[in-house]
Structure 1
Amino acid sequence: MTMHDKAGSGLQHISAGATLSLHSARTGIIARGRRDAANTASNPDYRQAVMDYNAGDFAAAAAGFQRAAEQGHAESQYLLSTMYDEGRGLPQNAAQAAHWERKAAEQGHAYAQANLSFRYYMANDFAEAFAWCQRAAYSKLAWAEYNLGLMYRKGEGVPQNDTEAAYWYRLAATQNFAEAQQKLAELYYFGQGVPLSYTQAAAWYRRAADQGNAEAQFQLAHLYATGQGVEHDYPQSRHWIRQAALQGHEQAMRELKRREYRDP
């Protein structure tokens, strides 16, 4: 197992979904993770923009979010930034996306803070990326906690620290964030930042594997093949290798081919 390069590091960026909701439901994009959902929904331009968005009139929605954003409405600033990013309802404009994203982030909008962190990260400004990611992580945003763990693990924007990486991975992992579960399992497997424990590694790999994380499936197959942290079980090993291979995991695909000659 190796850490990936920046392009494949797993840092997360969240954009607006297909349907908007006025409530703080996890499946919607509006007000997710925010404690002031009622106040968020009180702005009339924002409410109309949500209706326009859900009706498929993205141009009207963008105009409504723009009006609310100019009034200092953080959720509208955030959503307007995602629409500029995607070119939905208005011309794609990275500068405007960054402008409104930062406005929302400065008002404490956790999703905007995490996306701003991602923007700085992709520009190789790791110090700013870390600072904004940390703010979002303190709001208990799982994918920000995961990203913070990655930055501690790799020493980007902060001194490398596996103990801190494990701490933030665990916070995201306990929120059922599969990538964080897989990374926490990796730390347990190598005893980095946490005591070496194949049992804990297997447990966290299993949780991520059950959610379809291909790397976790591949590593869990290895543990079943070697009897590390679990009872040796060749059929289980073969099952998880196949699951990872079906998702295009290259090592799993090669391993599955090597096993074909001896598998019934």
Structure 2
Amino acid sequence: MTLLGELYAAGLGVPQNDQKAAEWYAFAAGRGDREAMFALAMFRLGGRAGPKDLGEAARLLAAAAKLGHAAAAYDLGLFYVEGQLFPQDLGRAAELFRTAAAAGSAEAQYALAVLHKEGRGVPQNPAEAARLLERAAVAGIVDAQVEYAIALFNGTGVTKDEARAAIWFRRAAMRGNAVAQNRLARLLSAGRGLTADPVEAVKWHLVAKAGGAGDPFMEDYAQKQTPEVRQNAEKAAQGWLEMLRQSRS
């Protein structure tokens, strides 16, 4: 039943039909299938096959979460963080994030890391925050890669390691994160964690600036470089700058 719902939802082998998809998901959810509960919750959140119904979506997410659905637990936790459908309850959100994180949800690992970092809903715990950030970073959550790199660079909750920090900043920078691009530019300008490289430093500064992460320090650094360095950096940055222009057009 759930698979039939997915086929109708995506139009695979049959004409796309949200109404039929919702009907099959409802049949399966009524028989205890957690995947169908989650899928139907997403329909209710998005207003597919009917009007939006946040209350019904939350009910379905809670049912799926009780059956061990990681994404459902994470999404339900977000409701408690936002405090719109339910009164804000960061402690309850942390419980749900912890359940989802243990089940392998990288998004939940990052969300729980942020709560531990800030001491919201859970005791402030830099070491636990760093541990969760690393797991989420390895799983590919870009914001977690940036936060983990910052923790490594500062030695917050983890042994200080500027070289490893540079690796994670570069990974996030290559994924288009402007903050990481700016931090990488600074490391390259100072030779911290990796070999100093003025051309690469100015290149990443130009890319970060175009992405919204301007930096007066790096702007001054760039202006102090030779014309040749600036020209080579601008040339190296062209591909990135063109991608940014295209993404905005």
TM over 0.5: yes
Which of structure 1's runs of 4+ aligned residues deviate more than 3 A? 254-264
Give the letter for the 2:26 counterpart.
Q
Cα distance in 1 for residues equivalent to 2:122 and 2:56: 29
Give the letter for the 1:238 counterpart.
V
Shift of 1:258: 5.4
TM-score norm. by structure 2 comes to 0.82
Residues 250 and 176 (structure 1), Cα distance of their counterparts in 2 relative to 1, 3 Å cut: closer
Shift of 1:261: 5.1
Match of 1:214 in 2: 178
Q: Tell me, which stretches of 5 or more residues in structure 2 are unaligned?
A: 225-229, 232-249
Matched, 1:126 2:82: no
Counterpart secondary structure, 2:133: helix
User: Paired residues, what number?
Assistant: 218
Aligned pair partner of 1:205 in 169, 180, 189: 169
Give the letter for the 1:236 counterpart.
E
Alignment deviations for residues 19-66 of structure 1 (CA, whole Å, 9 cap, x no partner): xxxxxxxxxxxxxxxxxxxxxxxxxx2122111111231122112212
Cα distance in 1 for residues equivalent to 2:160 and 2:117: 16
TM-score norm. by structure 1 comes to 0.77
Shift of 1:259: 6.3
Cα distance in 2 for residues equivalent to 1:228 and 1:186: 13
Match of 1:51 in 2: 7
Quick one: higher RCO (CA 8 Å, sep 6+), 1 or 2?
Answer: 1
Shift of 1:91: 0.7
Shift of 1:244: 2.1
- Kept in 2, the 8 Å contact 1:224–1:237? The answer is yes
Matched, 1:242 2:206: yes
Matched, 1:63 2:23: yes
Match of 1:26 in 2: none
Give the letter for the 2:67 counterpart.
Q
- Kept in 1, the 8 Å contact 2:9–2:17? The answer is yes
- Kept in 1, the 8 Å contact 2:202–2:222? The answer is no
Shift of 1:256: 7.1
- Kept in 2, the 8 Å contact 1:62–1:90? The answer is no
Match of 1:232 in 2: 196
Cα distance in 1 for residues equivalent to 2:202 and 2:18: 47
Cα distance in 1 for residues equivalent to 2:196 and 2:70: 44
Matched, 1:156 2:156: no
Cα distance in 1 for residues equivalent to 2:92 and 2:103: 18
Counterpart secondary structure, 1:231: coil
Cα distance in 2 for residues equivalent to 1:108 and 1:245: 43
Aligned alpha-carbon RMSD (Å): 1.8
Shift of 1:224: 0.8
